[in-house]
């Protein structure tokens, strides 16, 4: 690839770094060769190791002359891609300084931090590396262009995830912000809410994280086999939202996709009276 770190000189923000890379390489395919990109930026090796100590790590000298990425062995390709992009983020983001003689290692949990304003420095730099990884692997403009469905739906998230070679959940996070509709994606395990991603205007969901999905929701309705998804159906807004949040909601819809390991993904959408 015909670029180097000199092309990124002076860019500090994770998002601006990812955007600059796409500006320099406008023809990158959605599932572009990430290893080649790393090589262009002086990451000389990417190795898989048998370890439970971390999910991914980057070994670099204090001056960041070059880097080596280590990955825990046996992960799916899309998981590896996100981990590699995350470590590349640590390498390229100027303020992420290594402790001399120690690799910067990241736990699985670190790969889901999203608060780039966190007071805790560790959480903040992990969130910054995640923001870089998401913007590198799923640039908003390209994702938006690829979103052609008449209405938001889980099949589209699944097919975009496949095209961009990322996990369904990683794509869902970007999808809710890229969509023009007011939507939310919930990740469930064994019928309980694990994580929630909402678009900016989607109302607060009153069911707390860790609690079972509400009775009367389509998600609660039946066992959803892996790969099986429901139609987009109307649901009662009161099932998910507070009475106050329901006030201007004209229609609410719900769709559920069963996944392996007792996981499921739920897509909620609200349409407002004034829309």
Binding footprint of Zn ion on the chain (CB under 5 A) = 106, 110, 126, 129
Measuring CA to CA, which residue among 76, 34, 257, 252 is closest to residue 157?
Answer: 257
Q: Could you tell me the smallest distance in angstroms from the CB atom of residue 29 to Zn ion?
A: 26
- State how far the Cα of 246 lies from the Cα of 206, in Å rounded to an integer: 11
- Using the minimum distance from each CB to Zn ion, give the nearer residue, 126 or 182: 126
Measuring CA to CA, which residue among 253, 196, 191 is closest to residue 224?
Answer: 191
Backbone angles phi and psi of 183, in degrees to 5? -130, 165
- Using the minimum distance from each CB to Zn ion, give the nearer residue, 129 or 219: 129
- Using the minimum distance from each CB to Zn ion, give the nearer residue, 70 or 129: 129
Q: Could you tell me the smallest distance in angstroms from the CB atom of residue 134 to Zn ion?
A: 13
Residue with tokens 């938006």: 144
- Using the minimum distance from each CB to Zn ion, give the nearer residue, 58 or 235: 58
- Given a contact cutoff of 8 angstroms between Cβ atoms, the answer to whether 86 and 112 are in contact is no
- Given a contact cutoff of 8 angstroms between Cβ atoms, the answer to whether 263 and 168 are in contact is no
Q: Could you tell me the smallest distance in angstroms from the CB atom of residue 86 to Zn ion?
A: 5
Q: Could you tell me the smallest distance in angstroms from the CB atom of residue 135 to Zn ion?
A: 15
Q: Could you tell me the smallest distance in angstroms from the CB atom of residue 96 to Zn ion?
A: 8
- Using the minimum distance from each CB to Zn ion, give the nearer residue, 110 or 182: 110
- Burial class of 163 by CB neighbour count within 10 A (0 to 12, 13 to 18, 19+): middle
- State how far the Cα of 86 lies from the Cα of 187, in Å rounded to an integer: 22
Beta-bridge partners for 266: 186, 256
Q: Could you tell me the smallest distance in angstroms from the CB atom of residue 31 to Zn ion?
A: 22
- Using the minimum distance from each CB to Zn ion, give the nearer residue, 129 or 185: 129
- State how far the Cα of 46 lies from the Cα of 50, in Å rounded to an integer: 14
Q: Could you tell me the smallest distance in angstroms from the CB atom of residue 130 to Zn ion?
A: 8
- Using the minimum distance from each CB to Zn ion, give the nearer residue, 131 or 269: 131
Measuring CA to CA, which residue among 53, 46, 92, 89 is closest to residue 71?
Answer: 46
Query: Got the DSSP string for 27-55?
Result: T--TT--HHHHHHHTTEEEEEEE--SS-S
Helices marked H in the chain: 14-24, 34-40, 77-92, 121-137, 140-146, 154-164, 168-178, 218-221, 237-240, 243-246
Nearest to Zn ion by Cβ — which residue? 106
- Using the minimum distance from each CB to Zn ion, give the nearer residue, 80 or 126: 126
Q: Could you tell me the smallest distance in angstroms from the CB atom of residue 244 to Zn ion?
A: 39
């Amino acid at each position: 690839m015909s670029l180097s770190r000199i092309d990124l000189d002076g860019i500090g923000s994770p998002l601006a770094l990812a955007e600059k890379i796409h500006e320099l390489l406008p023809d990158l395919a959605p599932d572009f060769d990430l290893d080649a990109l790393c090589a262009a930026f002086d990451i000389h090796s990417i190795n898989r190791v048998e370890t439970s100590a971390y999910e991914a790590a980057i070994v670099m000298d204090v001056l960041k002359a070059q880097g080596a990425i280590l990955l825990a062995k046996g992960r799916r390709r899309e998981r590896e891609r996100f981990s590699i992009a995350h470590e590349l983020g640590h390498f390229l983001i100027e303020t992420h300084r290594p402790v001399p003689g120690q690799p910067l290692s990241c736990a699985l949990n670190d790969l889901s931090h999203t608060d780039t304003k966190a007071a805790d420095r560790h959480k903040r730099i992990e969130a910054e590396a995640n923001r870089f990884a998401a913007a590198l692997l799923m640039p908003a403009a390209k994702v938006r262009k690829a979103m052609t469905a008449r209405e938001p739906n889980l099949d589209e998230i699944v097919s975009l995830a496949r095209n961009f070679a990322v996990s369904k959940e990683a794509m869902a996070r970007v999808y809710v912000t890229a969509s023009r509709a007011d939507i939310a994606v919930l990740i469930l395990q064994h019928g309980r809410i694990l994580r929630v991603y909402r678009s900016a205007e989607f109302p607060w969901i009153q069911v707390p994280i860790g609690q079972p999905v509400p009775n009367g929701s389509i998600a609660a309705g039946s066992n959803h086999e892996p790969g099986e998804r429901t139609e987009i159906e109307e649901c009662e807004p009161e099932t998910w939202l507070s009475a106050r949040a329901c006030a201007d909601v004209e229609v609410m819809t719900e769709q559920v996709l069963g996944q392996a390991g007792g996981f499921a993904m739920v897509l909620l959408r609200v349409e407002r009276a004034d829309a």
